[in-house]
A and B are shown apart, each in its own frame.
Chain A
Amino acid sequence: MADARFTGTDRYVATPDLMMAVNAAVTLARPLLIKGEPGTGKTQLAEEIARSLARPLYEWHIKSTSKAQHGLYEYDAVSRLRDSQLGEEKVHDIRNYIVKGRLWEAFESEVQPVLLIDEIDKADIEFPNDLLRELDRMEFYVHETRELVKARHRPIILITSNNEKELPDAFLRRCFFHYIRFPDAQTLEKIVRVHYPDLKKELLAEALGAFFNVRETPGLKKKPSTSELLDWIKLLLAEDIPPEALRGDDPKKTIPVLHGALLKNEQDVHLFEQLVFLNRRAGR
């Protein structure tokens, strides 16, 4: 395990604190809980870890109706009932009707896998508590077949949360924790470079300037994040916008072109336009 160190990939810029958190979780085989603003690449992190360490990735996306049991297995009583009507042979073995969940699949993996439990806060408030034993011991019991499923290799577990619900202490205590902070200008530039290596320098500088200007507008409901910046730059490139168009005399007095990619809420757009208007009037 000592050789497997995550240092970011060609598509993903990892800060030193993030690298430390990932490596600690990998080495000590404990789940890593990732929080952060939406659009800072929480989910992508799991994909990149799996890619860079060459491990299979199992994704378990949580919905508001998800139960912890869904990740382990489900017993498909309906098909068994139906098969019993049709007189199928396989009806005699209950094993045929146990549908494996993502956790079980990850436990069975030949090499140590990466398991992503995405947006755990979407589920019911009791959900994390129901997974305590499974994450701690990496085993669970299948009541229908009376067998104990044990992980062949403790998976590298990544859990993301958007902070919609607070997670129970007992759960938190078993995880490593990392909060992805919104990147500073330098890191952001690196991230954009990774995604658009041929981007002209002036355009990048102008775009970042305009972007931070929008982000610092007080009172925005949803601040634009890294993923929005990348989308916006993609649009700028597709429309072939020259860097001058982003400049204006004063960044506070102009609305950036194609701002729809940055502001996703009509109240925010309205607020921003109002501020720009005020600044213009005050500047005259």
Chain B
Amino acid sequence: MLVRFFTDLRASGVPATLPEFLVLLEGLEARLAALSPEGFYYLARTALVKDERHFDRFDRVFARHFAGAEDFFQQLMRELPEDWLKQLSERLFSEEEKARVESLGGWQKLIETLKQRLLEQQERHEGGGKWIGTGGTSPFGHGGYNPEGVRIGSQAGRHGRAAKVWEARVYRNLDGQRELGTRNVKMALRRLRRFAREGAPEELDLDGTIQSTARNAGILDLRMQAERRNAVKLLLLLDVGGSMDPYVRTCEELFSAARAEFKHLEYFYFHNFPYERVWKDNRRRFDAITGTWALLRTFNSDYRVVIVGDATMSPYEIEQPGGSVEHWNEEAGRVWMQRITSHFPRLVWLNPEPEERWKWTPSIGITRELVGGRMFSLTIDGIDRAMYELRRGSPYTAPHVS
């Protein structure tokens, strides 16, 4: 029963592992969740799910799996009012009978039996309609634990609440189904780290200290040095709008990952293809613009450039002056791209379009040629290769244009 629950969880995309499942069993064995299904729900969730984005998926599997049990408890509540059960037990059981129940191994064992019975019955019966009416009363009528029946009633009450807990599906908004977690992107971006010592000297330079102390005839001479920091400068150019819309989330992930990894990160947006202007704030793209010339003047050639765009457009938008779909550009996109590639020797283009589709779109071919073949797909592997390309010693040199 639980094993099937576990495999179902995995099948639904909750990345639970065997050790975690064993922990859950350990917790059950330690009687953490007593008998309350609500407790079991919380215990299973805290042990198996490690990301709030997966809570919703967990809730769905849980609801599906324990649907029968839930109905059963609810029916029980309707059909067997607690007071009635209490009275019944008072009436039917003499003191010695109650004592005998105790001597038979106590409540714990009886509950264990009951639990097993419930699970068995549920396995045989999935839908929960008719069986409850007939079978539902029988385990409770069955010998000896009617006094305990009262407690079962109260447990069921709690269960009702729990059913609401997982049926409310409050974590729906957190379920991302994200293929490309930012952690993966960050790990790929780490390749680009270049540590250099910068800033105030606050770390002990052990080698330097030994050397200068030796020169000082053994009198201690402390040498300090600056901390190592990631000194890579990155310029990110992002295509927004139009055909890029389906890839917004992937780009956002890349962006947020990059922002956390690099101290020097500048980003600009463009539409379809970089022309004479780019902008920083997409809402104010028509009044707060930065000229591409200014961009080339502001950022040194030691900036590494990552362009993200699908490069999917009409070839005229690259080849012809005035080809832009948004405004009249005096010079063709190709000229601007060449200026950018010749100013920034370390440059890559990341394309969210699947790589096997590239050859069917002429504009991708043109763009790829313009960036000297350094186009990579926006996947973990692609980013990895792009980062390798960016840190390579001998950068590609583009043909010079003025």
B389 within 8 A of A: no
State whether A168 and B183 are in contact (beta carbons under 8 Å apart), knowing that A28-B26, A28-B27, A30-B23 are contacts in the complex. Answer: yes
Q: How far is the CA of A2 from the CA of B313 in the complex (A)?
A: 67
State whether A179 and B52 are in contact (beta carbons under 8 Å apart), knowing that A24-B32, A28-B30 are contacts in the complex. Answer: yes
A77 within 8 A of B: yes
Residues of A within 8 A of B222 (CB): 78, 81
B43 within 8 A of A: yes
A192 within 8 A of B: no
Residues of A within 8 A of B206 (CB): 77
B281 within 8 A of A: no
A166 within 8 A of B: yes
A142 within 8 A of B: no
B273-291 to A contact mask, C-beta < 8 Å, 1/0: 0000000000000000000
B110 within 8 A of A: no
Contact at A169–B15, with CB atoms within 8 Å? yes
Count contacts on B: residues with CB < 8 A to the other chain: 40
Contact at B260–A165, with CB atoms within 8 Å? yes
B244-268 to A contact mask, C-beta < 8 Å, 1/0: 0000000000000000100000000
Q: How far is the CA of A23 from the CA of B33 in the complex (A)?
A: 10
Contact at B190–A125, with CB atoms within 8 Å? yes
Q: Which of A13-21, A207-215, A242-250 contacts B (4 or more CB under 8 A)?
A: A13-21
Q: How far is the CA of A152 from the CA of B227 in the complex (A)?
A: 36
Chain A residue with the shortest CB-CB distance to B219:
A85
Q: Which of A32, A85, A125, A167 has the most CB of B within 10 A?
A: A125
Contact at B190–A179, with CB atoms within 8 Å? no
**Looking at chain B's contact residues, is the secondary structure mostly helix, strand, loop, or mixed?**
helix
A155-172 to B contact mask, C-beta < 8 Å, 1/0: 000000000111111001
Contact at B182–A166, with CB atoms within 8 Å? yes
State whether A21 and B42 are in contact (beta carbons under 8 Å apart), knowing that A172-B50, A173-B19 are contacts in the complex. Answer: yes
Q: Which of B15, B23, B204 has the most CB of A within 10 A?
A: B23
Q: How far is the CA of A257 from the CA of B26 in the complex (A)?
A: 52
Residues of B within 8 A of A35 (CB): 52
Contact at B30–A27, with CB atoms within 8 Å? yes
A residues neighboring B (CB under 8 Å):
16-17, 20-21, 23-25, 27-28, 30, 32-33, 35, 65, 77-78, 81-82, 84-85, 125, 164-169, 172-173, 175-179, 181
27 contacts between A and B (CB under 8 A): A16-B39, A16-B42, A17-B42, A20-B33, A20-B46, A23-B32, A24-B32, A28-B27, A28-B32, A30-B23, A78-B222, A81-B213, A82-B220, A84-B220, A85-B219, A85-B220, A165-B260, A166-B182, A166-B183, A167-B183, A168-B183, A173-B20, A173-B50, A177-B46, A179-B52, A181-B170, A181-B171
Given contact pairs A25-B46, A82-B220, A172-B51, enumerate 8 new A-B contacts (beta carbons under 8 Å).
A20-B32, A20-B39, A23-B32, A28-B23, A125-B183, A169-B50, A173-B19, A179-B171
